[in-house]
């Protein structure tokens, strides 16, 4: 089995946890569910409508419009997933990954993520890449991890962009390339991902993949630290010792003016 640096594993774990907190919540509940009539959705689901089956499963999972029932939720998610509904396939991947409503099963999770990923679901592509990178439910394979991170990143998935940048930075599954690492970290940093912002700050500070620039380094590290990263707070203190008061003021101004970019419309 390939060995992976502690930094690589830790960033995968942090990025995965940050992404999963958002991804899993979306998979289990959507505000629009509250406006749907349960009986209307049930009728369509019973008639074989895969989209309705998925929505019905989500309603049972969240308890919106009906008494919460995880067994019923899983039943309807599976009906939709077996008809090729990517949302349902992805949701089952999430369910088996965290054991909500089912027994936790990495291999089953991998199976459903793979089916959704093959249909182009970028969240599933990212999760599949993370599972290959960590060896969860499958033999660890950094080449496959890179492949799926790349697909997710190209589909504008910010977590995929972060871990694609990390793959290039560490040379895991691909030849090490600091220039490409910086390119993908920056894409995710501009979207507001704190781990990518931290990486961009470090690369500016050390001149890896980009010309050294302490003002830019400070700016991106501050942005990451604002999202409660203690490591970045320590890095800021170290950078201050190498910067003039004017440079620090300029960097702080740039950080204050920063506005995250939105996802590219598809």
140 and 14 share one domain: yes
Tens digit of each residue's pLDDT (9 = 90 or more) over 84-120: 999 999 999 999 998 988 999 999 999 999 999 999 9
The band of 9, judged by pLDDT with boundaries at 50, 70 and 90, is: very low
Banded pLDDT at 229 (limits 50, 70, 90)? low
Which of residues 110 and 29 earns the better pLDDT score? 110
Asked if the structure places residue 127 within a domain, the reply is yes
Buried b or exposed e, range 227-256, using 16+ CB within 10 angstroms: eebeebeebbeebeeebeeebbebbeebbe
Tens digit of each residue's pLDDT (9 = 90 or more) over 13-26:
445 544 554 444 44
The CATH number assigned to the domain holding 89 equals: 1.25.40.10
Picking from 143, 176, 209, the residue at the C-terminal end of a domain is: 176
Lowest average pLDDT, out of 100-104, 148-152, 197-201, goes to 100-104
Show the tokens assigned to 189.
């940093």
Q: At what angle do helices 6-28 and 50-62 cross, to 10 degrees?
A: 100
Asked if residue 154 is part of any domain, the answer here is yes
Distance CA 55, CA 51 (A): 6
Specify whether the CB–CB gap between 195 and 162 falls below 8 A.
yes
Domain boundary among 137, 153, 176: 176
Domain count along the chain: 2
User: In the predicted model, is pLDDT for residue 158 greater than 60?
Assistant: yes
- Among residues 113, 144, 176, which one ends one of the domains? 176
Distances (CA, A) of 122 to 98, 106, 146: 19, 19, 14
Q: Quick check: is 162 in a domain?
A: yes
* Contacts of the segment 35-40: beta carbons below 8 A, 24+ positions apart: 36/65, 37/65, 38/65, 38/66
Computed over every residue of the chain, the mean pLDDT equals: 88
Task: Domain of residue 212: give its range.
Answer: 186-266
206-211 CB contacts, 8 Å cutoff, 24+ apart:
208/178, 208/181, 208/182, 209/177, 209/178, 209/179, 209/180, 209/181, 209/182, 209/183, 210/179, 210/182
């Amino acid at each position: 089995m390939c060995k992976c640096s502690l930094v690589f594993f830790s960033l995968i774990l942090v990025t995965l946890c940050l992404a999963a907190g958002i991804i899993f919540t979306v998979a289990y509940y959507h505000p629009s569910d509250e406006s749907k009539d349960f009986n209307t959705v049930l009728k369509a689901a019973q008639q074989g409508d895969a989209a309705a089956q998925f929505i019905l499963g989500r309603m049972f999972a969240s308890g919106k419009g009906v008494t919460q029932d995880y067994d019923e939720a899983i039943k309807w998610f599976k009906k939709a997933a077996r008809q090729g509904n990517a949302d349902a396939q992805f949701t089952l991947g999430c369910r088996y990954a965290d054991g909500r409503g089912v027994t936790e099963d990495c291999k089953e999770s991998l199976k459903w993520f793979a089916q959704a990923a093959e249909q182009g679901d970028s969240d599933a592509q990212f999760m599949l890449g993370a599972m290959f990178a960590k060896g969860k439910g499958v033999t660890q394979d950094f080449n496959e991890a890179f492949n799926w991170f790349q697909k997710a990143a190209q589909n504008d998935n910010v977590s995929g962009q972060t871990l694609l940048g990390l793959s290039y930075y560490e040379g895991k599954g691909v030849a090490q390339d600091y220039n490409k690492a910086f390119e993908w970290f920056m894409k995710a940093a501009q979207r507001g991902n704190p781990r990518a912002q931290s990486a961009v700050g470090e690369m500016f500070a050390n001149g890896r993949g980009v010309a050294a620039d302490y003002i830019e380094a400070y700016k991106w590290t501050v942005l990451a630290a604002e999202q409660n990263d203690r490591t970045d707070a320590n890095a800021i203190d170290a950078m201050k010792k190498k910067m003039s008061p004017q440079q620090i003021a300029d960097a702080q101004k740039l950080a204050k003016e920063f506005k995250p970019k939105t996802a590219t419309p598809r």
